[in-house]
Amino acid sequence: MTDPLALDPVLPERERSRLPFNEDRPHDDRYRAFEDHVLAGGKVEAGDWMPDEYRTSVLRFVEMHANSELMGVLPERDWILRAPTLRRKLALTAKIQDEVGHAQLLYRVAEDLGKPREAMIDDLLAGRTKFHNVFHYPTRTWADIGVIAWLVDAAAIVAQQALRDSSYAPYARTMKKICWEESVHIMHGRDVVVTLAEGTPEQRAMVQEALDRWWPPLMQMHGPRSEREKDRDLHWRIKAKTSEELRQEFLTIYVPRVLELGLSLPDPELHLDAAAGQWRYTEPDWAELRSVVTGHGPASEARIRFRRVQREESRWVRETILVAGGAAA
């Protein structure tokens, strides 16, 4: 297999130094040259000069992504012990391991932009930075594990695939690796859901109940519609698609796949408006989204508290590594 990180090789140092914004010029010239470069589809490397606004935007974006990977392991982690077969347990452990690995990669990308990992974790645990809404909800049954691995990861991958062409090259490269691994998770998740949907009436009811519960947060996950022109992350090509474009893409791929299993979706308004080529749906509860991502979701406090306790209990281990000359956690 091709190593995804080997694609898109970084320009040699000498060529990068010839990029106009890397030359010693007045700030406004540099800013313009940088903007021209990025708007023309050019890539930015960690060592390039970049406007503070760009650096801050990329950092905020990547940091939230890293936080989401780190917090996203908790809902599933509770089920490693309860996975009902050897194969399921192996698949779930491997999936969560991937997510911890993603957090590690993303925190490194963010660290290169100037914020140490410890500071990012401090901010996360103090509620100063955010993580994705879906990780603020509790898991109640084994079916949740299937729905999360299939549909939450699918919604995430739709967004992440659009980030493989991010103007910030280290992030784009990381996304290529992550997308590949996420596609394996989706297969595991779908297999869990299919097994339950084809199982006993109780198993089928279990997976339908989980789907009903997860659907509203899934519809909120990409965020409210926003104007393309006003979105600075789009302007800088940090991301490529609007929230609504991502949601439409998710619905186009996954609604038929859910329905073909004989499962239903809990939104009577949900349908494809063929003439407009758009999915119509009941307006998601944006007040719930805002409340949840600011730490007021049903499991927000418990998850943050759990992480804080774990971090405190193992502080002595990290200090041991630090003294030995290793990296900080």
Partner 1 sequence: MTARAERPPGIEPGLGPATRELLLALADDDFVLGFADSEWTGIAPHLEEDVAMSSMAQDELGHASAYYRLLADLVSDDPDRIAYDRPAEAFRHNRLVDHGRGDWARTMVRRWLYDTANAIRLEALAESTSRPLAELVVKVRREESYHLLHGEAWLDRLARHRGEPRRRLVEAIELVGPDAPSVLTALPSEAVLIDSGIQPVPGADLLARWSARIEPVLAGLGLSLPAASPAALDPDTARSGHGAAFNRLWTEFSSVRALDPEATW
Residue from 100, 125, 179, 184 in contact with partner 1 (CB under 8 A): 100
Residue 5 touching partner 1 (CB under 8 A) = no
Residues 6 or more apart whose CB falls under 8 angstroms from that of 42 comprise 19, 167
Residue 325 touching partner 1 (CB under 8 A) = no
Residue 276 touching partner 1 (CB under 8 A) = no
Residue 85 touching partner 1 (CB under 8 A) = yes
Would you tell me how many other CB atoms lie within 10 Å of the CB of residue 153?
Answer: 26
Residue 187 touching partner 1 (CB under 8 A) = no
CA distance to 70, 103, 181, 197, 207, per residue, from 258 (Å)? 28, 29, 22, 10, 11
Question: 83 or 148: whose CB is closer to partner 1?
Answer: 83
- Least distance between partner 1 and beta carbon 20 (Å): 38
Question: 33 or 149: whose CB is closer to partner 1?
Answer: 149
* Dist. CA 177–CA 105, nearest whole Å: 10
User: Tell me, what amino acid is at 300?
Assistant: S
Residue 275 touching partner 1 (CB under 8 A) = no
Residue 204 touching partner 1 (CB under 8 A) = no
* Dist. CA 290–CA 204, nearest whole Å: 32
- Least distance between partner 1 and beta carbon 96 (Å): 5
Question: 103 or 289: whose CB is closer to partner 1?
Answer: 103
Tokens at residue 302, please? 């418990």
Residue 80 touching partner 1 (CB under 8 A) = yes
Q: How far is CA 128 from the centre of its chain?
A: 18
- Least distance between partner 1 and beta carbon 193 (Å): 12
Indicate the burial class of 245 (C-beta count within 10 angstroms; 0-12, 13-18, 19 or more): middle
Residue from 5, 7, 39, 94 in contact with partner 1 (CB under 8 A): 94
Residue from 202, 227, 229, 283 in contact with partner 1 (CB under 8 A): 202
- Least distance between partner 1 and beta carbon 137 (Å): 17
Residue from 199, 256, 266, 298 in contact with partner 1 (CB under 8 A): 199
Residue from 25, 46, 93, 299 in contact with partner 1 (CB under 8 A): 93
Residue 129 touching partner 1 (CB under 8 A) = no
Residue 321 touching partner 1 (CB under 8 A) = yes
Residue 262 touching partner 1 (CB under 8 A) = no
What value, to the nearest 5°, has the Cα angle with vertex 288 and ends 283 and 292? 140
The residue ranges that bind partner 1 (CB under 8 A) are 73-74, 77, 80-90, 93-94, 96-97, 99-101, 103-104, 107, 142, 195, 199-200, 202-203, 307, 310, 313-318, 320-321, 323-324, 327, 329
